[in-house]
Amino acid sequence: DAGITQSPRHKVTETGTPVTLRCHQTENHRYMYWYRQDPGHGLRLIHYSYGVKDTDKGEVSDGYSVSRSKTEDFLLTLESATSSQTSVYFCAISEIRRQGDYGYTFGSGTRLTVV
Amino acid sequence: EDKVVQSPLSLVVHEGDTVTLNCSYEVTNFRSLLWYKQEKKAPTFLFMLTSSGIEKKSGRLSSILDKKELFSILNITATQTGDSAIYLCAVEALITGANSKLTFGKGITLSVRP
């Protein structure tokens, strides 16, 4: 178990408001990722982090910012929420599973609705 | 731009059938290909493939990668209703140094009827 917790699990917010989603991990993983999942699009990478204060953009980063001030927390902020950002957001970490093998593990997701 | 295409997009079978799910890709700096199963919540890891021609198996599921033709297949034999899910294929690409990222296909929705 990679010990990933996402909060909140569900959120409804109004258009134009800022929203912050939190991903918390307990096992000191270096790499963390934020994805969104929408019907017909699969999972798309928003931002990722490869260490404290080290972040970079993914393929759908517009309208999102991230911060990682400590190893265990990776925050995703919607600066001014829009209806197009209604989605399910997943946090992920990459971890070594067995010798020479590794994988990505996902949190349980946050369902965000922007009205 | 990295690209992952899964086919078919949806599939309905009966219990006991064998299914083959396809994933083709175009990616720069390929590192691995991963398969996930997604039911109602988060995707759960099935396989990671890095080498061509080496089959990975887990119970009734198996997968193989062809790095020359740039595709992978996921086979499920003797399907059960519990296999009903979305199956996601993702390709990992190196960015810089040890940094990598996943690009996902749109997923294949498998429905297994009793």
Q: Is the pLDDT of residue A18 over 80?
A: yes
Nearest to A106 by CA among B41, B85, B47: B41
* Residue A32: per-residue pLDDT: 93
Instruction: Residue B98: give the domain boundaries.
Output: 3-113
Are residues A102 and B48, on separate chains, in Cβ contact within 8 Å?
Answer: yes
What is the Cβ-side half-sphere exposure of residue A65, based on CA atoms within 13 angstroms? 6
The enclosing domain of B84 has a CATH number of 2.60.40.10
Query: Between β-strands A42-51 and A54-57, what pairing exists: parallel, antiparallel or unpaired?
Result: antiparallel
Q: Is the pLDDT of residue B38 over 60?
A: yes
* Chain B residues touching A58 at Cβ < 8 A: 101
Burial of B35 (0-12, 13-18, 19+ CB in 10 A): buried
Q: Is the pLDDT of residue B51 over 60?
A: yes
Average pLDDT over residues B10-18: 97
| Of A47-51, A70-74, A83-87, minimum mean pLDDT range | A47-51
* Chain A residues touching B90 at Cβ < 8 A: 43, 104
Please state which CATH number belongs to domain A4-114: 2.60.40.10
Please tell me the total count of domains within chain B.
Answer: 1
* Residue B95: per-residue pLDDT: 77
Average pLDDT over residues A50-63: 92
Measured CA to CA, the distance from residue B33 to residue B64 in angstroms comes to: 10
Which of A1, A4, A9, A37 would best serve as a mutation to test chain B binding (most B beta carbons within 10 A)?
A37
Which residues does B62 contact at the CB level (< 8 Å), separation at least 6? B55, B56, B74, B75, B77
* Residue A1: per-residue pLDDT: 52
Using pLDDT thresholds of 50, 70 and 90, give the confidence band for residue A30. Answer: confident
Helix H or strand E segment including A95: strand A87-98
Nearest to B34 by CA among B42, B26, B44: B44
Using pLDDT thresholds of 50, 70 and 90, give the confidence band for residue B100. Answer: confident
